[in-house]
Amino acid sequence: MDVLDEAWSFLSTADNVCNATLIIDIIINFFVAYVDKSTCLLVDTHWEIATNYATSGLALDVISAIPPGFVWSFLPRLFKEYGLFSLIRLWRLKRVFDVLTRMEKNVRVNYVFARCAKLISVTVFSVNRAACLFYLLAAYNNNPWIAKAMPSGDDYRQLSLGSRYIISLYWSVTMFSTVGFGDLHAVNLKEMLTCIIVMFLNAGVSAYVYGNVTQLLIDDTMKTKHYRETTEAATSFAQRNQLPARLVDPMMSHLSLNFRTNSEGIQQQVILDSLPKAMRTNIWVYLFQSLLEDVYLFRGVSKELLFQLVSEIRVEYFSPNEDVILKNEVSTDFYILATGAVDLFDMKNGVQEMQIVEEAQKGELCGEISVLCNRSQLFTVRTKRLTQLLRLSRTAFLSILDDKANDGEIIMDNLEKDMIQRGRTHLAAAVQANVDKVRPSRITISCPEKATISEEWILLPRSFEELKKIGLGLYGDAFVRVLNEERAQINDILVVRDGDRIIFASQAATAPPRRPATVNFPP
């Protein structure tokens, strides 16, 4: 029985269309750049593209594109069997698999749709493969089991090609869905061996399909399940400790907000934490540097300081009526409002009386006085609506200011001016007391033995070794002695104070006589 002669009008036309499409794809592949797996670089040189394709899949692509009629006419008898040649033609399915794999990795294509398309393709291929095997068994064997399963009076071989294929497909689906059980009964050894092979293959394909479908369903519900478990645990905790409603409601609202930000993909910090620091910093600079430049505390500071501060920012979301900072607590962070608004409350007599002091809008700060002045928080900060806050740690902030003394002075001056403008003179005094902690010590260094070099006014180094290194760099390696203004030897940085005059001298230098103290007697 010749399959192509029997259904030439449909099968041969479809086959030739696939062959023409594959030939076009072969030609295009000679001009498509590829990524070298060894170097991970894009190769776009035509000669390298052609060489890579010719040494990889070109031979199998060309063989699988040859029409079967051409094979029958020119190849030896051994290769005239269409069944043997069709095994090579299955190579064309690799392109379908590659397309589906790229769809899964393409963020512009829905992942569930791409995954389902791949699973459906695997299922259709597996079912069609088994149906073709059953068709061959029924077409070329005497008294097959499919013929026995036909209604009385119907001859399987006298039916049309489409009807026979549908019957074979029915039994294939039955075997695939039930893994061998049902009405399928092999009647001879050849059919039994075929069914054994098909059932083993179907077991593996079924496990793959069912496992992936289960994973898709679970992934869609895991976030909701985790939210429900967290909410139930929080509710149980509140009931065991008999927490009042004013504490339970904000807690549940915050859990709900976290679930929304995670499910809707707006949790920026989780996304950015997976990126390299340089890439993350560039994104933060693009998003928030303009906001930091408008904050009163950072007016006049250097671009370098703003760049370093942006890299330490953490983004947080707060639901309406949620406390961000409580009065009288010592804040370890301060916040910059990116979106939304907060109210500053002054609590009197505990929590019974609360008076709104002021409202903070976008670009304003919360908690900076507590961080910079080392004192407890003055007001309770509570959100008015859904608010995005940029959190900056006190430890990271002061660590950055350690190397930027001038910027530290500017920040403290800005804070003092802001307190004065708001009429908080007592806070301005507290700020002034902390300015001295920020302002660094300055000293004057000189070398009398090198009169051609003028005195230098420098910041006091952190160590004695750094001080000597500065002197050696200015005056040379011979000047290793460090003296104070009274020509006393200095061996420790701790004895140097703000405003001191430091003298570098050589070992051979002799100390000039000290000038006697001048005493002014009254007339």
Task: Output the CA torsion sign for 214, 215, 219, 225.
Answer: positive
Asked whether residue 309 is assigned to any structural domain, the reply reads yes
Cα–Cα distance for residue pair 439/409, rounded to 1 Å: 6
Asked whether residue 240 is assigned to any structural domain, the reply reads no
9 falls in which pLDDT band (50, 70, 90)? low
Given a contact cutoff of 8 angstroms between Cβ atoms, the answer to whether 177 and 203 are in contact is no
CA 451 from centroid of its chain's CA atoms: 60
Query: Where residue 417 sits, what CATH number does that domain have?
Result: 2.60.120.10
Q: Do 379 and 480 share a structural domain? A: no
pLDDT tens sequence across 192-216: 888 888 888 888 888 888 888 888 8
Asked whether residue 246 is assigned to any structural domain, the reply reads no
Q: Lowest-confidence range among 16-25, 439-448, 464-473? A: 439-448
Strands (E), 242-329: 314-318, 323-325
Q: Do 351 and 425 share a structural domain? A: yes
Locus of tokens 């496990």? 207
Q: How many domains does the chain have?
A: 3
Strands (E), 252-302: none
515 falls in which pLDDT band (50, 70, 90)? very low
Given a contact cutoff of 8 angstroms between Cβ atoms, the answer to whether 317 and 261 are in contact is yes
Asked whether residue 147 is assigned to any structural domain, the reply reads yes
Query: What percent of the chain has a predicted confidence (pLDDT) above 90?
Result: 1
Token pair listed for 144: 């097959």
Checking if the pLDDT of 518 tops 60, the result is no
Query: Where residue 486 sits, what CATH number does that domain have?
Result: 3.10.20.90
Checking if the pLDDT of 46 tops 50, the result is yes
Cα–Cα distance for residue pair 337/341, rounded to 1 Å: 7
DSSP structure class, residue 486: T
Q: Do 168 and 205 share a structural domain? A: yes
Q: Do 316 and 171 share a structural domain? A: no
Q: Lowest-confidence range among 28-32, 147-151, 450-454? A: 147-151
The last residue of one of the domains, among 173, 193, 212, is 212
Asked whether residue 200 is assigned to any structural domain, the reply reads yes
Q: Do 188 and 103 share a structural domain? A: yes
The count of residues in the chain is 523
Checking if the pLDDT of 51 tops 50, the result is yes
Asked whether residue 247 is assigned to any structural domain, the reply reads no
* C-alpha distance from residue 176 to each of 94, 130, 134, 390 (Å): 23, 9, 13, 56
pLDDT for position 99? 85
Q: Do 70 and 201 share a structural domain? A: yes
Asked whether residue 219 is assigned to any structural domain, the reply reads no
Given a contact cutoff of 8 angstroms between Cβ atoms, the answer to whether 506 and 479 are in contact is yes
Q: Do 430 and 399 share a structural domain? A: yes
Token pair listed for 504: 């570098």
> Which amino acid is residue 400, in one-letter code?
I
For residue 475, the enclosing domain spans 442-505
Asked whether residue 304 is assigned to any structural domain, the reply reads yes
> Which amino acid is residue 374, in one-letter code?
N
Mean pLDDT of 246-257: 82
Q: Do 461 and 380 share a structural domain? A: no
More confident residue, 269 or 164: 164
Q: Do 185 and 77 share a structural domain? A: yes
pLDDT for position 96? 83
> Which amino acid is residue 75, in one-letter code?
L
Q: Do 474 and 397 share a structural domain? A: no
Q: Do 390 and 306 share a structural domain? A: yes
Q: Do 118 and 65 share a structural domain? A: yes
pLDDT for position 428? 52
